[in-house]
Structure 1
Amino acid sequence: MVSTDAIEGVLLGLACGDALGRPLEFTSADSIASEHGSVTELLGNGTHGKPRGTVTDDTELMLRIARSLVENERFDGQDIADRFLEWFEDDPFDIGLMTADALREYSHGTDWRSAGQEVWQHRQEGSNAGNGSVMRCAPYAIAFADEPATLRKVSKQSSAITHYDPRCRYGCVILNETIAGYLRGEDEPLADALARVEGEAPEELVETLRLVPDLVSPDDLRTTPYVVHTLQTALYDALTADSAEEAIISAVNRGGDTDTIGAVAGAVAGARFGTESLPDRWLEQLDYREGLSLLARSLATTEISATV
């Protein structure tokens, strides 16, 4: 049986990575080191000028997926899109360009299954495969940890609401299967996830992630919002660390897209090590701390339909 500690670790780890990285978003590693040395505490102000413990769109959209799954007891793409749109119309302080464009498209009447594709088709290479869907997809790994076929399907469908590119859709599949593998106690869930999508997922994505953790140098890891870079860096830190805290600190101090890389690393490391490896000093200041724990437990115990 999957431990409650590991289940809660997924959502709390994601939120902790998001909150630690939020004040440093778009800051270089050299600038972080020059000003802070190594950031190990939740900071206030910084990028976006928010209080310590504040989370961004990474956690906000993840929460909307989790609540939809629990309240509807099934995957409902339209309900999730509606929840995303309600959040978008409340003028969030942080939102990715593709997410904003897709939700604007959805608000104009395009079906939730097509909104992300419509936006993607008009984007040039280099601006069409961001990390805005991998950052939020972890609730599916909890809800469908024992339903791998359903997990793959909902991961792709949920990504496509805003991020249709195959690298994004299969990025969500690989990430969620890795998280679910850790929840099931597997020894090498990333390798297993990559083996299951070989020949189906984009080759660049699979080959880049196959280098993790032993065949890539830490100096070669990149911290851009490109989904392939985000996944490689976040997975490297999650798989090589000795605790969730260490994974998140390493990811965030690399600079760049710190909130999202921290969030993805935190979700994987949270599944790997559990909540006990997240420091109380973070959890005590974290937005939605109690709600995240409750939602994680509900995702694991609610009978969520595998029918998509």
Structure 2
Amino acid sequence: MTQSPEARAVRPDRSGAGRGARAVGAVVGSAVGDALGAPFEFGLPGVYSARFPDGVGVMCGGGGWDPGEATDDTQMAVLVGESLLENGGLDLPDIFGRFRRWAAGEPKDIGLQTEDVLTSGDPWDLAAALHFQVNARAAGNGSLMRATTSAVRFARAGRTATMDAARRIAALTHGDRAAWEGTAVFHELVRVALEGG
């Protein structure tokens, strides 16, 4: 019997780590990676290598961030996760409302496009699209950088459901379909990884 490409992509996990451990690792790893990289965001090439010539970094501050401090991307990922847990699933107006309240609290950092969308006063289901109509540039990576919590949440629902959820959440702040598709592909990669692929 010939296996489908999807079946071949999902291999049995031989590491001994279960799905739950991989899910926790994905979410925590995303936050830790974000905190490790925050001091170097927007920096010149080679700054990390100059600071850690042996390639082994430590949690440090810089670029306006304290050591281990969560960036806007992790903060928004937490908001998505809280909404998914508290509502038992996808509630787009709730996620947008959480984003909007967070943005109104003057976070230390927020992407320019995301800030424009969240502070526009436009309704949740139109804000990103209206921003895109005016600016014609809305394919930033912010929707991708906050996507791990939703990717983990929707992974068990299968490829179609997880990719659809990714697009819908990305569309809350990014009006360009390129951002939606990039986030959808990431959701699918997480789904396959959680299956041991």
TM-score range for the pair, normalised by the shorter chain length: 0.7 to 0.9
User: Is residue 66 of structure 1 aligned with residue 75 of structure 2?
Assistant: no
Is the Cα contact below 8 Å between 2:166 and 2:183 reproduced in 1? yes
* Identical counterparts, % of pairs: 32
How many angstroms does 1:24 deviate by?
1.2
1:245 corresponds to: none
User: In 2 relative to 1, CA 81–33 (structure 1 residues): closer, same or farther, beyond 3 Å?
Assistant: same
CA distance in 1: counterparts of 2:88 and 2:47, whole angstroms:
45
The count of corresponding residues between Structure 1 and Structure 2 is: 179
Is the Cα contact below 8 Å between 2:40 and 2:47 reproduced in 1? no
User: Is residue 143 of structure 1 aligned with residue 160 of structure 2?
Assistant: no
Q: Give the match's secondary structure for 2:135.
A: coil
Correspondence list, 1:144-223, <5 A: 144-147=154-157, 148-186=159-197
Correspondence list, 1:193-272, <5 A: none
Is the Cα contact below 8 Å between 2:162 and 2:188 reproduced in 1? yes
How many angstroms does 1:118 deviate by?
0.8
How many angstroms does 1:15 deviate by?
0.5
Is the Cα contact below 8 Å between 1:133 and 1:163 reproduced in 2? yes
Is the Cα contact below 8 Å between 1:113 and 1:157 reproduced in 2? no
Q: Give the match's secondary structure for 1:133.
A: helix
Q: Give the match's secondary structure for 1:27.
A: coil
CA distance in 2: counterparts of 1:179 and 1:153, whole angstroms:
14
Deviation per CA, 1:264-296, whole angstroms, max 9, x where unpaired?
xxxxxxxxxxxxxxxxxxxxxxxxxxxxxxxxx
CA distance in 1: counterparts of 2:83 and 2:69, whole angstroms:
22
The partner residue of 2:72 within 38, 57, 66 is: 57
Is the Cα contact below 8 Å between 2:77 and 2:148 reproduced in 1? yes
Amino acid aligned to 2:82: R
Higher relative contact order (CA 8 A, sep 6+): 1
User: Is residue 89 of structure 1 aligned with residue 104 of structure 2?
Assistant: yes
1:78 corresponds to: 93
How many angstroms does 1:150 deviate by?
2.0
TM, length-normalised to structure 1? 0.55
Is the Cα contact below 8 Å between 1:32 and 1:39 reproduced in 2? no
Give the RMSD, CA atoms, in angstroms.
1.6
Amino acid aligned to 1:101: D
How many angstroms does 1:39 deviate by?
5.5
The partner residue of 2:127 within 102, 108, 115 is: 115
The partner residue of 1:43 within 60, 78, 85 is: 60
Runs of 4+ in 1 over 6 A off after TM superposition: none
